């Protein structure tokens, strides 16, 4: 079962469950130079419903902003992405 804060993806015949942090970092990386929602959906391997929920939450937290249907990672979002990537010890 997948929910808002995790998702499963197929990779070489194996199902991989991604955490909220993994998905958030992916979205923030994709939107660094600006990206349409479609680019985020495909790039982060999300469906539209889940992407909408993440984008809304990231906007509320001021990690991403939307202007003319383009999502851009804010300075706060870039700092968050960089710190989270450094702490990722997989």
Query: Which CATH number belongs to the domain containing residue 43 in this structure?
Result: 1.10.10.10
Surface-to-core class of residue 66, CB atoms within 10 Å of its CB (0-12 exposed, 13-18 middle, 19+ buried): middle
Quote the number of domains for the chain.
Answer: 1
2 lies in some domain: no
Over residues 14-53, the pLDDT tens digits come to 666 788 999 999 999 999 999 999 999 999 999 999 999 9
Closest CA to 28 of 79, 68, 87: 79
Note the pTM of the prediction, 2 decimals: 0.80
Q: Please give the pLDDT value at position 14.
A: 61
45 lies in some domain: yes
Q: Which residue has the higher pLDDT, 84 or 1?
A: 84
75 lies in some domain: yes
Range of the domain at 65: 7-87
């Amino acid at each position: 079962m997948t929910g808002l804060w995790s998702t499963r993806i197929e990779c070489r015949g194996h199902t991989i469950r991604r955490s909220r942090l993994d998905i958030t970092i992916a979205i923030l990386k994709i939107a660094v130079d600006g990206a349409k929602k479609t680019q985020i959906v495909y790039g982060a391997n999300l469906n539209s419903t889940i992407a909408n929920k993440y984008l809304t939450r990231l906007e509320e937290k001021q990690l991403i902003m939307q202007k003319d249907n383009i999502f851009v990672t804010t300075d706060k979002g870039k700092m968050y992405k960089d710190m989270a990537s450094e702490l990722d010890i997989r």
